[in-house]
Amino acid sequence: MSVKIPIETSARHIHVSKEDFELLFGPGAELHYIKELSQPGQYLCQERLTVKGPKGEFENMAILGPFRKETQVELSLTDTRKLGLPGIIRQSGDIEGTPGCVLCGPNSELSIEKGVIVAKRHIHMTPDEAISLRVRDNDEVFVLTKSYGRALIYADVVVRVHRSFRLAMHVDTDEANAFSSDAEPYGVIVRLFDDNYNTDKWIEEVLSGIHR
């Protein structure tokens, strides 16, 4: 038995450290809650920032609370192109070696040296859900999306397990537009191989006439 995995779209947004937030909004400034997001404890804030790159900028970019240890800007590949930054696909929190940008707040401008990522697509789930779906934290799986006329099988989807998570796959706006315009899209995990797969190896095999 498998289950429907709701697919949610993450538009571009920012996570900030308390230190950077106070530089941008002034000493003692605090995040102001607007609404809860799908993952428990995560919320949209009233505060907004302008994000600048060498070729362009986005005004009024949403900040998500609570504070994180390090500031991180999450964009789609289309967004990175508009800003003129390289698009580096990473899991949230893994920002070593990623490009920086300039953040503009009401109190000051701040140039960050790293932290701009294109979030690697992932599924949040609880330990119980992981057991019933026969996956583990950090596994990478295939997800077949419900067809709205151009279904996709997404590869390299990271499983993230925590007891506070709510079952949902997160994709960015490019990925969402690639398969669906539906309000409540969903997919299922599909198993295409028994052993550890590697899609590049799969391509090599197909090119050399091996079909498994």
DSSP secondary structure, 71-132, as one string: -EEE--HHHHHHHT----EE-TT--TT---EEEE-SS-EEEESS-EEEEPPEEEE-HHHHHH
Q: Which stretch binds Zn ion (CB under 5 A): 54-62, 99-107, 163-171, 199-207?
A: 163-171
**Cis? peptide before 27, omega within 30° of 0:** no
Residue nearest to Zn ion (CB): 170
* Segment contacting Zn ion by CB under 5 A, of 17-25, 61-69, 166-174, 182-190: 166-174
Nearer to Zn ion (CB atom), residue 13 or residue 170: 170
The nearest distance, CB 124 to Zn ion, in angstroms, is 6
With CB under 5 A as the contact rule, the residue among 170, 171, 175, 176 that binds Zn ion is 170
The CB-of-126 to Zn ion minimum distance in angstroms stands at 14
Torsional sign, CA 190, 192, 196, 200: negative
Q: Is 200 left (phi over 0), alpha (psi -120 to 50) or beta?
A: alpha
Site for Zn ion (CB under 5 A): how many residues? 1
Instruction: Give the binding site for Zn ion (CB under 5 A).
Output: 170
